[in-house]
Chain A
Amino acid sequence: MRVPIEDWQFWTTTLAAILAAAYVARGLLPGGILGGRANQTRATLTVEGKKPGRPLAR
């Protein structure tokens, strides 16, 4: 049982796999870690950074 560390192609594919794993994890982790989704800017409506959901204060 061995890992082909002498093969540059192994390192290329390993780097791609790490990046892919980070991308998948990014969607699961809270904002701030690996640039999680919570930090993404979306074209949706927010009120002081939060989704509206309270009655109007007149």
Chain B
Amino acid sequence: MAQRVHPIPSSAALATFRHLGDPVIESSAHDAPIAVTPSGPPAAGHTPPPLSPPRIALLGNPNTGKTTLFNRLSGLRHKTSNFPGTTLEARLGRVKLADAAAATDPAGPPAHGHVADLIDLPGIYSLDLDQPEAILCRDVLAGRARVGGGAGGGRAAPPEAVLIVVDATNLGRNLVLVGECLREGLPTVVALNMIDLARRARAEPDARALAESLGCPVVPCGARSGEGLDALRHALADLPARTEPRRTIPDLRAWAFEAASRAVAGRPPTTTTAGRTFTDRVDHVVTHPLMGAVVFALVMGGLFFTLFKLARYPMDAIDGLFAGNPGWAAAWQPDWLAHALGAGLTGLTRQLLPAGLLADFVADGVIAGVGATVIFLPQICLLFFLISLLEDTGYLARGAFVMDRLLRPFGLPGHAFVPLLSSHACALPGIISARGVPDARERLTTILVAPFTTCSARIPVYVMLITLLFGHRPTLAALAFVGCYALGILAAVGSAALARGTILRGRSRPMALELPTYKIPSLRTALLTTWDRALVFLRSAGTNILAICIVLWWLGSFPHVAPPARADQLRADAQALVERSAVAESPDAVSDAYTLAQAMNAEADHVERAHAKSSSFLGMMGRAAQPVFAPLGYDWQLTIGVLSSFAAREVFVSTMSIVFAGEEDSSRDGVFQKISAATRDDGTTPVFTPAVCWSLLIYYILAMQCLPTLAVTAREAGGIRWALLQLAWMSLVAYAAAFVAYRLALALGA
């Protein structure tokens, strides 16, 4: 049963309570009486209600459930996982304290004193470490930090108290941090989290004994199950006062293990419980040098197989929504819906808006542009859902451990595994999660090489080019797809080795990663993570990518030019054919003439559009930049595609579909057919020869082509120079490799 435990405010214990962390406390706390008070009045010496809500810093070792508790108390839903170091920045949330409901007018805002601002901080093992997370925590506790935005409004002040979350199954190590806070004289409340796991392992600590040892309130709770949260709200409503730091605990580690021993006295030690034995047995396999690598390959293979197998169906559905119904969807839809969605949102827009520039703008600039990106939403959602489930089981930390052996020769630590894995969905979260890499040089290396891994935005380009290369040979197409991923990883680790041997030279820090206990993954956490990622992606598609598509549409639509002579000739011939057929007597001859005239008019439209595109501002830019890409085999049309996708590589496919397929095409097969049949200005040489396809494929595997990634690199690496270095290196590697691939393919007769 959840309960709040703290020393009774007797004269001796009251002094203890006023001077938490003082030498007097520890020596007197052993004989202080204990009271269990689920909701008692504030004792003398407690902090009076301040003018603004009190601030409570949430501290604890990594992976003790701080963010889960933070989410539970504040009603927010920040990312949580069963992986150490998930929280990488401080966050603020307002917490309703125990008596808020009774004391507050429901119609009005909650009175100060009944709410508190909780600051969720990254997990740390000690305040004294020289790591970014520890520095953040020290700055928050010293009042030098400001949490911008949110409920706190960016106020910089020391927190009124500290709520330390400790893992009830691993008290000895967790109490070191508690001791440090007590030593600094910080008013401290201890949340004894994962009490349900400790109970199940028959190793539940005695909260009373622990409170007595520590001299501060100790609340057993389970952040996942919600157990003990009411008691915790009571404890936070009744905060102890701040004291002057006046003493140091001489041997913090010995003190912590002594306190832990007293709390679990008489109970079997956790290392011999059934749960630990099971964990040890599983770990023996999954962290084994050989078997661990096999398990890792199987898990990752299963993850990507599931990803590509399952994501195809919702992707088809989204494609149908924007571009037109796929056959399987039309089969079960009522006629009216199939008719309305027959040409997708693009066609619907053209039906609703009168023909003109505005209709073209909405249909081709906005809907088609965003649709070409949103189609990849299912893959991104599924990848993050699966990664979240893996994290929650506790396996991902083992995966990082296994990867440490493989990455270490390239100068990367096992910590880099999670950023590199995340980058396979999108480089942005991957680079941000590199904050979990403790060593500064290794962190910077991880940031610089993470964009080499194949992100979701590359997939449409791969699909297009591999389909053009191996359209009717699925086995070769699958191998080429795997090869794209492999080349990206090789480029990443190779570049890492080069960076670590030159500009980021330095000794590697040994990897120390706490392996969390295995848990059944939380579906709720996985779904919330997926939802958050989907929102981020949709926000990007609805802002940056939409803006780029609009600009591209405008540049590709103006200035207007007169139709070329060939288009005029085709239309005139078609008209003459129709007129001649009017005097024909055979109905079959009339029908044939009309069919042929239609085809000639369509060809005339195509020729006119191609001419207009070539003469547009975008076409001019493509022609101007074409000499740079000529050695790679690209003509001006492909150069437009490469330039337009500089900001976001997935734009390449939509640009190609606009340049080659024409606006009226809505089916994907039609687009592929027209792209594969596209010719250069001479009208006979194909644009997409096998050599050009290989060159483009290699280029897109290795090139940066992502503006948001550069911005995030500049922010995370601490300067734009790193982003420019990343851009220059990736562009150089991509250009050189594409050149070699093109020449090699030509030499082999491709």
Contacts and interface: CB of A to CB of B under 8 A. Distances in A.
Given A24-B647, A41-B148, A47-B144, A17 B139 contact: no
Count chain A CB atoms within 10 A of each CB in B147, B357, B707 and give the residue with the most. Answer: B357
Contacts of A56: 135, 138-139, 142
B598 to A, nearest CB: 28
B148 A55 contact: no
Nearest to B557: A13
B97 interface: no
A42 B90 CA distance: 11
Contacts of A43: 91-92, 147-150
Given A17-B554, A20-B550, A44 B559 contact: no
Contact of A47 (B139, B357, B543, B547): B139
Given A20-B546, A20-B547, A45 B136 contact: yes
B284 interface: no
A27 B708 contact: yes
A52 B145 contact: yes
Interface in A28-48: 28, 37, 41-48
Contacts of B365: 13
Contacts of A51: 718
B135 A54 contact: yes
A3 to B, nearest CB: 5
Interface in A1-24: 1-4, 7, 9-10, 12-14, 16-17, 20-21, 23-24
Nearest to B547: A20
Bin the interface of chain B by size: 35 or more
Contact of A3 (B92, B150, B560, B615): B560
Contacts of B718: 51, 53
Contact of A13 (B145, B148, B361): B361
B89 A3 contact: no
A17 B90 contact: no
B146 A45 contact: yes
A56 B149 CA distance: 25
Nearest to A30: B720
B358 A55 contact: no
A43 B551 CA distance: 31
Contacts of A47: 139, 144-146
Contact of B148 (A1, A42, A54): A42
Contacts of B356: 7, 9
A1 B561 contact: yes
A24 B544 contact: yes
B548 A24 contact: yes
Contacts of A3: 558-560
Nearest to B720: A30
B559 to A, nearest CB: 5
A9 B358 contact: yes
B132 interface: yes
A3 B559 CA distance: 5
Q: Please give me the 8 A-B residue pairs with the lowest Cβ-Cβ distance, nearest first.
A: A17-B554, A20-B547, A9-B357, A45-B90, A20-B550, A43-B149, A23-B547, A56-B138
Interface of B: 89-92, 130, 132, 135-136, 138-140, 142, 144-150, 154, 156, 356-358, 361, 365, 543-544, 546-548, 550-551, 553-555, 557-561, 615, 647, 707-708, 711, 718
13 contacts: A1-B561, A3-B559, A9-B361, A13-B554, A23-B544, A27-B708, A41-B154, A42-B148, A45-B145, A45-B146, A51-B718, A52-B136, A52-B144
